[in-house]
Amino acid sequence: MASIEPFHVVELMERARALEQQGRNIIHMEVGEPDFGTPAPVIQAATQALQRQSLGYTSALGTAALREAISNFYQTRFRANVPPERIIVTSGASAALLIALSLLVSPEDEVLLTDPGYPCNRHFVSLLNGTPICMPLDHTTAYQPTSDHVVKYWSEKTRALLLATPSNPTGTCISPETLNLIAEAVKQRRGNLVVDEIYNVLTYDLPASTILSYRQDAFVINSFSKYWGMTGWRLGWLVVPMGYERDAEKLAQNLFISPPTLAQHAAIACFHEDTLEEMEMRRLEFQKRRDLLIDGLSSLGFGINAKPSGAFYVYANVSGMTQDSYTFSLETLEKTGVAMTPGLDFGAHAPDQHVRFAYTTHYSQIEQALERLFSHLRS
Amino acid sequence: MASIEPFHVVELMERARALEQQGRNIIHMEVGEPDFGTPAPVIQAATQALQRQSLGYTSALGTAALREAISNFYQTRFRANVPPERIIVTSGASAALLIALSLLVSPEDEVLLTDPGYPCNRHFVSLLNGTPICMPLDHTTAYQPTSDHVVKYWSEKTRALLLATPSNPTGTCISPETLNLIAEAVKQRRGNLVVDEIYNVLTYDLPASTILSYRQDAFVINSFSKYWGMTGWRLGWLVVPMGYERDAEKLAQNLFISPPTLAQHAAIACFHEDTLEEMEMRRLEFQKRRDLLIDGLSSLGFGINAKPSGAFYVYANVSGMTQDSYTFSLETLEKTGVAMTPGLDFGAHAPDQHVRFAYTTHYSQIEQALERLFSHLRS
Cβ of A58 and B232 within 8 Å? yes
Whole-number Å distance between alpha carbons of B90 and A183: 36
B185/B164 Cα distance (integer angstroms): 17
Length of chain B (residues): 379
Residues 6+ apart with CB under 8 A from A195: A162, A163, A164, A165, A179, A211, A218, A219, A220, A221
Phi, psi of B356 (to 5 degrees): -115, 130
pLDDT tier, B8 (very low <50, low <70, confident <90, very high otherwise): confident
pLDDT above 80: residue B3: no
Q: Do B318 and B343 belong to one domain?
A: yes
> How many Cβ atoms from other residues are within 10 Å of residue B214's Cβ?
16
B83 falls in which pLDDT band (50, 70, 90)? very high
Quick one: A262 and A296 in the same domain?
no
* Beta carbons within 8 Å of A101's beta carbon, 6+ residues apart: A111, A124, A125, A128, A130, A160, A162, A194
Q: What percent of chain B has pLDDT over 70?
A: 100
Q: What is the pLDDT of residues B87-146, one digit of tens each?
A: 999 999 999 999 999 999 999 999 999 999 999 999 999 999 999 999 999 999 999 999
Please report whether residue B150 resides in a domain. yes
Note whether A240 and A348 are same-domain residues.
no
Give residue A167's pLDDT band: very low, low, confident or very high (50, 70, 90). very high
Answer whether residue A7 shows pLDDT above 90: no
Establish if A1 belongs to a structural domain: no
CB A186 within 8 A of CB A162: no
Give the model's pLDDT for residue B194. Answer: 98
Q: How many Å apart are CA B188 and CA B191, to the nearest integer?
A: 8
Average pLDDT (A51-56) is 95
Of the partner residues A56, A129, A261, the one whose CB lies closest to the CB of residue B107: A129
Q: Within this chain, do residues B239 and B314 fall inside the same structural domain, yes or no?
A: no
User: Per the structure, how many domains does chain B have?
Assistant: 2
Mean pLDDT along residues A112-130: 96
Q: How many CA atoms are closer than 13 Å to the CA of A232, on its beta-carbon side?
A: 23
Q: Do residues A93 and A187 share a domain?
A: yes
pLDDT at B379 over 80: no
| A347-372 as b/e: b if 16+ CB within 10 A | bebbbbbbbbbbbbbeeebbebbbeb
Between positions 4 and 33 of A, the ones with CB within 8 A of B are 4-7, 33
Last residue of a domain, one of B241, B272, B303: B272
Q: Residue A371 belongs to what domain range?
A: 8-38+275-377
pLDDT score for B362: 97
Residue B310 lies in a domain: yes
Distance, in Å, from the CA atom of B243 to the CA atom of A8, rounded to the nearest integer, reads 21
Q: Are B165 and B305 members of one domain?
A: no
- Within this chain, do residues A221 and A106 fall inside the same structural domain, yes or no? yes
Domain presence at residue B2: no
**Domain check: are B267 and B283 in the same one?**
no
Query: Which pLDDT score is estimated for B4?
Result: 81
Alpha carbon distances (Å) from B167 to A230, B70, B197, B314, B362: 36, 22, 9, 10, 22
Coil vs helix vs strand at A117 = coil
A1 pLDDT above the threshold of 80: no
CB B170 within 8 A of CB B143: yes
Q: What is the pLDDT of residue B1?
A: 74
Q: What is the mean pLDDT of chain A?
A: 96
The region that residue A100 occupies, defined by phi over 0 for left and psi between -120 and 50 for alpha, beta otherwise, is alpha
Same domain, B33 and B46: no
Kindly tell me if the per-residue pLDDT of A184 is higher than 80. Answer: yes
Q: Is the pLDDT of residue B353 over 80?
A: yes
- Say how far apart CA B228 and CA A365 lie, in whole Å: 43
pLDDT at residue A31 in the model: 86
> Which residues of A fall within a CB distance of 8 Å from B255?
94, 98, 120, 123-124, 127
Which residues of chain B does A258 touch, with a Cβ-Cβ cutoff of 8 Å?
232, 234
B-chain residue closest to A57, CA distance? B232
- The span from the CA of B27 to the CA of B30, in Å, is 9
Q: How confident is the model at residue A378 (pLDDT cuts 50, 70, 90)?
A: confident
Task: Please calculate the CA angle B349-B350-B353 and round it to the nearest 5 degrees.
Answer: 155
Alpha-helical (H) ranges within A3-110 are 8-21, 40-52, 64-78, 92-104
**Confidence band of B10 (pLDDT split at 50, 70, 90):** confident
Indicate whether A198 and A50 sit together in one domain: yes
Query: What type of residue sits at position A38?
Result: T
**CB distance from B231 to chain A under 8 Å?**
yes
What pLDDT digit, counting tens, does each position of A192-209 carry? 999 999 999 999 999 999
Distance from CA of A319 to the nearest CA of B (A): 29
B107 touching chain A per CB within 8 A: yes
Reduced to 3 states (helix: H, G, I; strand: E, B; else coil), residue A314 is: strand
Domain end residue (candidates: B242, B272, B302)? B272
List pLDDT tens digits, range B176-223.
Answer: 999 999 999 999 999 999 999 999 999 999 999 999 999 999 999 999
Q: Return the half-sphere exposure (C-beta side, CA atoms, 13 A cut-off) of residue A275.
A: 22
Residues B33, B172, single domain; the answer is no
What is the structure's pLDDT at A294? Answer: 98
pLDDT above 80 for A379: no
Alpha helices in chain B (DSSP H): 8-21, 40-52, 64-78, 92-104, 120-127, 147-153, 176-188, 245-256, 261-267, 273-300, 325-336, 363-377
Smallest Cα–Cα separation from B143: which of B264, B315, B288, B357? B315
Indicate yes or no: CB of A57 within 8 angstroms of CB of B231.
Answer: yes
- CB contacts < 8 Å between A and B, how many? 163
Q: Say if A255 falls within a structural domain.
A: yes
CATH number, domain with residue A101: 3.40.640.10
Q: CATH number, domain at B338? A: 3.90.1150.10
Name the 3-class secondary structure at A36.
coil
Q: Is residue B1 part of a domain?
A: no
Q: Strand A110-115 to strand B341-342: parallel, antiparallel, or no bridges (unpaired)?
A: unpaired
Q: A22 lies in a domain?
A: yes
**C-alpha distances out from residue A316 to A8, A294, A300, A331, Å:** 17, 9, 11, 17
Residues of chain A neighbouring B56 (CB-CB closer than 8 A): 33, 37, 231-232
Beta bridge pairs of residue A136:
A115
A203 DSSP assignment: B
Residue A364 near residue A351 (C-beta atoms within 8 A): no
* Alpha-carbon distance B300 to nearest alpha carbon in chain A (angstroms): 32
Within a 13 Å sphere around the CA of A375, how many CA atoms are in the beta-carbon half? Answer: 9
Answer whether residue A3 is part of any domain.
no
Peptide bond into A116 cis (omega under 30): yes
Do B343 and B197 contact (CB within 8 A), yes or no?
Answer: no
Q: What is the pLDDT of residues B278-329, one digit of tens each?
A: 999 999 999 999 999 999 999 999 999 999 999 999 999 999 999 999 999 9
A110 and A49, same domain (yes or no):
yes
pLDDT at B6 over 90: no
- For chain A, what's the residue count? 379
Report the alpha-carbon distance of residue B56 to residue A31 in Å, rounded.
Answer: 11
**Final residue belonging to a domain, choices B272, B300, B322:** B272
A92-107 pLDDT per residue, tens: 999 999 999 999 999 9
